[in-house]
Chain A
Amino acid sequence: MTSSNSNTSSRWATDHLLSWFLWGTAMMAGTIALLIMVFLVLEALPALQHIGLVRFFTDSSWHPAEGLYNLAPMLWGTLFAMAGSVLIATPLGILSAIFCHYYAPPALAGPYRRLIELLAGIPSVVYGFWGLVVLVPLIGEVHPPGPSLLAGILILTIMILPTIALMADASLAHVPQHYLRGAAALGLPRWAMIRRVVFPAAKSGLFTGVILETGRAIGETMAILMVCGNVVQTPSSLFDPVRTLTANIALEMAYALGDHRAALFVSGLVLMAMIVALIVSAEWISRGRIYD
């Protein structure tokens, strides 16, 4: 599409003003991400200098008051919660999208899609609250104490499900119609068509959806803070309480000082590193290299 080149001269003085204004706003918007990284590093630097990166994984425990800063249990908490929820939400979300496109009667597909959209808009604190008052007591009856890794996984699953369902929905919509007609002409039954024709055609969109939901699962704070019990330990079963990196920041930031505060910024950096890795792999997939 046509764009004006802002370097060429224009007869109007207002055009120059406009150009300066637009460049100014874009510079500011573009530097925010950089600014965030700079401030995370600046605030984390004292901890990296005094404590060193290695001790964040080799210290015996997380007791900032005694100078022990082991992030590993919380990193495990984040990874387990993420893995569990992605494992459950991915098939459910993709099946949801398939339901909308190929199984649901037309009268049902529209409302179902709206329902998923609504689910996507509900704030995390509401999910967390519902998890706290409904889900945690239920789990507590089966296997005390209740606030646990399992509760966190289930709540995260409900939260990230709309992300993958909507992404899968969009990528299924982009499968060319003549593929489907061709499959129908070959007499393929519905599921065989989905498995052999639709999935390969929609693969890159589905993978992007998985990456987006993984990012959401890693970054989620409030809901998981409310249902996970927040005990700093590497969980040995689904019913153990855990604390994630995000929850740790939210819980301790209020009173953290000095090296402790800097250590929380280090965990912020770890989260950012995970997210950047995900964005890079999303880029890689969307360029189609995954098929090579």
Chain B
Amino acid sequence: MIETPNQSWNLREWLAFASVWGAAVLVTVTFCWLLGDIIWHGLSHISWTFLTAPPENAGRRGGIGPILVSTGLILGVCLAVSLPLGVGTAVLLAEFTSDTNLFGRLTRRSLDVLAGVPSIVFGLFGNAFFCKTLGLGFSILSGGLTLACMVLPILIRSTEEGFRAVPDNYRLSAAALGLSRTATLVHLLLPAAVPGLLVGLVLGVGRAIAETAALIFTSGYVDRMPESLLDSGRALSIHIFDLSMNVSGGDANAYASALVLVIMLLIINGTASWLATHSLHRKIVTV
């Protein structure tokens, strides 16, 4: 540059410095405000009785016992379906098809689309398919199955990455020893890929537990203790939504429920990042 740029450079550098720090401070302050508000208002309402008692008076008083049970059941159904499907697909994509295989590419593309589907569209689909066509009605089963479709892409992607992180000489050695593919998979590849699977699992649980829109028309609003998987059950996130939108005077319990949900998610996310940094690159000790 021929012109002396120092003057304008200094101004520009100073402006950039100010806006970068400004953005960082703004984001931090907003986050602390949000979290602080939820903790401040929620903490005083949380007690053992709140966690175990049934809701009274449409949730204004009482606790969230049956809601935690429903949430757990929905999550259980979701995992029972998505784990075998997800791990099976990931194994096929990572170990049994080459990168150029047409079926593999189509499946990956389809999973990319699935990952982008808005949650309310999952809700529409779950309502039309599980509740109406399969006749499951508003039930924990419908909700769990809808969530299973939703977490599948996350689960498959990180499990597949787990398998891809396994060094290639494991496969070659196993083949040279004449191990069957099943034995190679069960005894060698699966244990080595477990960290990736766990990260996917934890992320999937996090997504499922935070979900609201996909559950309103699949698992329903009923806040009684569920007696079977075909009963309607209210998830924790729907409870927060209902208390804050449809029940006047439900704010106190909504705060407490939100705090419970946030704490659960902090634990889940903490576990995921701990797993990712501490064990993803661990290898089987070679003797």
Contact = CB atoms under 8 A, between A and B. Distances in A.
A1 B121 CA distance: 37
B13 interface: yes
Given A22-B96, A43-B124, A272-B121, A29 B269 contact: no
Contacts of A118: 31, 266, 269
Contacts of A257: none
Contacts of A225: 245
Interface residues of B, number: 92
The secondary structure that dominates the A interface is helix
A118 B270 CA distance: 9
A40 B125 contact: yes
A191 to B, nearest CB: 4
Interface in B187-202: none
Contacts of B119: 219, 221
A228 B218 CA distance: 24
A99 B84 contact: no
A142 interface: no
A95 B103 CA distance: 40
Contacts of B88: 21-22, 24-26, 29
A149 B209 CA distance: 28
Given A121-B266, A264-B124, A30 B107 contact: yes
B261 A249 contact: no
Interface string B154-197: 00100000001000100110000000111001000000000000
Interface residues of A, number: 92
Contact of B89 (A26, A36, A226, A265): A26
A29 B86 contact: yes
B213 A33 contact: no
- The 10 A-B residue pairs whose C-beta atoms are closest, nearest first, are A219-B118, A25-B88, A123-B210, A191-B16, A95-B23, A221-B213, A12-B180, A30-B107, A22-B92, A29-B89
Given A18-B185, A29-B111, A125-B240, 13 more contacts: A3-B96, A22-B88, A26-B107, A39-B133, A95-B23, A115-B31, A119-B31, A121-B206, A121-B265, A124-B210, A194-B16, A220-B118, A265-B128
19 contacts: A3-B94, A4-B181, A12-B181, A17-B182, A18-B182, A33-B110, A36-B122, A40-B128, A123-B211, A125-B210, A126-B38, A130-B37, A158-B34, A221-B118, A221-B212, A226-B244, A249-B124, A254-B217, A268-B121
